[in-house]
Amino acid sequence: MLRSGQPLTGPNRKRCREDEALLATVLDEGERGFVIDTRSAQAANQARMTGGGTEPKSSYPRWRRLHRPLERGRPLQESFAKLVEACNDASLGMDRWLSRLESCRWLSHVQAALSTACLAAQEEASVLVHGAEGTDTTLLVTALAQVILDPSCRTLEGFQGLLEREWIEAGHPFHLRCARSAYSHARLKQEAPLFLLFLDCVWQLSRQFPFSLEFGEQLLLTLFDNAYASAYGTFLCNSERERRVRENTHSLWAWLSQPGEKKKYLNPLYTRNALVIWPSVEPQSLQLWQGLFFRWIRSARYLDEAWAEIQRLVEGD
């Protein structure tokens, strides 16, 4: 699986031999590859006007292009803000709750993200994933696909490694994307909850495969918190270059891996599952992440007690 930014084809259909050669070396003799473009065909074509574009069939004959539009940017942030608003709306009756939930579209985004990741993972061929910049929906897809495919990404350590590689080092601009979160009225242009969407998808996987992830919901919540506001330097800045703070801050991972802390984040049901975990993306199988969206609204007491009980059973107290 490869990821990149969009090819700078532009309105004059520029070619780049080096780029074509690079992609050609990826494929074996007679092999075909797939390009998963996370923009709609229309958006991808329009991008040519501003210097971007898609891989033309003639220049990349062995690559088949597929468009799987995933929401990003302002619309995704709106979706998030609307959802949080709906969750906090005490006046909402049961007769209107579901349609309100639907109008936020958040769950549709979860469904689309998981679907696309599965598609990328499903191919028994090489896959190149890109959107426009390669820093948002691209990373969502490649990171999710790895959780689905690779059991080592489902361990605590492996997951941390995945985040380092596919989000932090890959240059997801955390500083811009995770500025104010959902309550702020300031609709910042660059703000978008891609990372949260990723965490939500991982949570859906953990629900459908309760034995297969070494970590639990608490880790995902902690990562969410730290992406927006953190005492640690891990999610600071927008890129590796900016992130020279590494010398001046502490790492979140170091803190999380301390034995006392680590225990909180482990899933007591975890058993290494060597196989691929294919989620169901039917609406009945996806749920609103209560632990996040209702975190401050509903008591987690009874659910926490249940987890404590599971821990007790598994550890043979």
Partner 1 sequence: VENVRLLDRLSSRKAALGTLYLTATHVIFVENGSETRKETWVLHSQISSIEKQATTATGCPLLIRCKNFQVIQLVIPQERDCHDVYISLIRLTRPVKYEELYCFSFNPKLDKEEREQGWKLVDLKEEYNRMGIPNNHWQISDVNRDYGVCDSYPTEVYVPKSATAHIIVGSSKFRSRRRFPALSYYCKDNNASICRSSQPLSGFSARCLEDEQMLQAIRKANPESDFIYVVDTRPKLNAMANRAAGKGYENEDNYSNIKFQFIGIENIHVMRNSLQKMLEVCELKSPSMSDFLWGLENSGWLKHIKAIMDAGIFIAKAVAEEGVSVLVHCSDGWDRTAQVCSVASLLLDPYYRTMKGFMVLIEKDWVSFGHKFNHRYGNLDGDPKEISPVMDQFIECVWQLMQQFPCAFEFNERFLIHIQHHIYSCQFGNFLCNSQKERRELKIQERTYSLWAHLWKNRADYLNPLYRSAHSQTQGTLSPQMAPCNFLYKFWSGMYNRFEKGLHPRQSVTDYLMAVKEETQQLEEELEVLGERLANLQKSQLNDNKVKSKQQDRSRQLGLSMSNNSLANTPQEYSSDLKSFPSRSPSQGDEEDSALILTQDNLKSSDPDLSANSDQESGVEDLSCRSSSAGGCLPSEDSGKDSDEAVFLAV
Q: Least distance (Å) from partner 1 to the CB of residue 34?
A: 8
Question: Is 313 an interacting residue with respect to partner 1 (CB under 8 A)?
Answer: yes
Site for partner 1 in 116-145 (CB under 8 A): 118-119, 122-125
Question: Is 71 an interacting residue with respect to partner 1 (CB under 8 A)?
Answer: no
Number of residues counted as binding partner 1 (CB under 8 A): 71
Considering only residues 207, 233, 235, 249, which one is a binding residue for partner 1 as defined by CB under 8 A? 207
For partner 1, the closer of residues 81 and 148 by Cβ is 148
Considering only residues 24, 43, 66, 176, which one is a binding residue for partner 1 as defined by CB under 8 A? 66
Question: Is 209 an interacting residue with respect to partner 1 (CB under 8 A)?
Answer: yes
Query: Rounded to an integer, what distance in angstroms lies between the CA atom of residue 53 and that of residue 14?
Result: 10
Question: Is 31 an interacting residue with respect to partner 1 (CB under 8 A)?
Answer: no
Question: Is 299 an interacting residue with respect to partner 1 (CB under 8 A)?
Answer: yes
For partner 1, the closer of residues 49 and 97 by Cβ is 97
Q: Least distance (Å) from partner 1 to the CB of residue 253?
A: 22
Considering only residues 94, 186, 229, 231, which one is a binding residue for partner 1 as defined by CB under 8 A? 94
For partner 1, the closer of residues 18 and 124 by Cβ is 124
Q: Least distance (Å) from partner 1 to the CB of residue 102?
A: 4
Question: Is 275 an interacting residue with respect to partner 1 (CB under 8 A)?
Answer: yes
Considering only residues 4, 115, 251, 257, which one is a binding residue for partner 1 as defined by CB under 8 A? 115
Give the binding range for partner 1 (CB under 8 A) out of 22-30, 162-170, 237-245, 273-281.
273-281
